[in-house]
Amino acid sequence: MTAEDISNSKTKIALVTGGSRGLGRNTALSLAHKGIDVVITYHSNKAEANATVEAIKALGRKAAALQLDTGAIKTFDDFASNLKAALKDNWNSATFNYLINNAGIGIGKPFAETTEADFDTLMNIHFKGVYFLTQNLLPLITDGGRIVNLSSGLARFSFSGYSAYASMKGAIEVLTHYLAKELGPRGIAVNTVAPGAIETDFGGGTVRDNADLNKMIAGLTALGRVGVPDDIGPMIASLLSEDNRWINGQRIEVSGGMFV
């Protein structure tokens, strides 16, 4: 067995921000199905996070949950310390392999009604937080690891009421290109996954619960329906497999063909 074979045989560990619910939870479980251990973060619902950890363990993988407010940049040093301790305690490891920047919220307001506070909240969570959390965790990511940043179909097409949210996602897509370039010498591939409209509780569950909106979006989608979490999590897990190791610096939209 070569050194490369030994390296590839080691347990891989992923960190999924916002992994206790919605697309993050689905991604965490999809990674577990692929034989990857998972650290998830949660904002406030510890019981929900613990339930996700137990679901991952039921699939035969190790898991841990850590509290994190991805918009509170000043807490990132403490989070990194907590993550180091979790890696040591659960895996006897100083590093992890995959970072999935998934955590986020939705604020939907017309441009003329969006406040500076709305803008700052979205920026801190969706762009500034991703920027500096990734920077803070770089020493803990293995060489040859992967980073996936979550964007949105709204960075390509437009729906009224999402100018601030979509602008942050556009910034994430540009950041992904720069990270792919600058982290390339370490063998770290960085890509963007941009989901379309998905039936989750995101944004108050509007896409899931508003029948008229759901039908309208389905009519704009080539495959004739709105997406569900199982359309996204397995795709991200697949992107992180060795089969896709040569994909880097790309924006991959997973929308069923909205507005094609």
Active site residues: 165
CB proximity list for 54: less than 8 A, separation 6 or greater: none
Nearest C-alpha neighbor of 122 from the set 80, 173, 171, 192: 171
Phi-psi region of 64 (alpha: psi -120 to 50; beta: other; left: phi over 0): beta
- Tell me the DSSP string of 14-44: EEETTTTSHHHHHHHHHHHHTT-EEEEEESS
State CA 229 to chain mean position distance: 12
Q: What is the DSSP letter of 128?
A: I
List, in sequence order, every residue forming a beta bridge with 221; answer none if it has no partner.
258
State CA 117 to chain mean position distance: 24
List, in sequence order, every residue forming a beta bridge with 189; answer none if it has no partner.
146
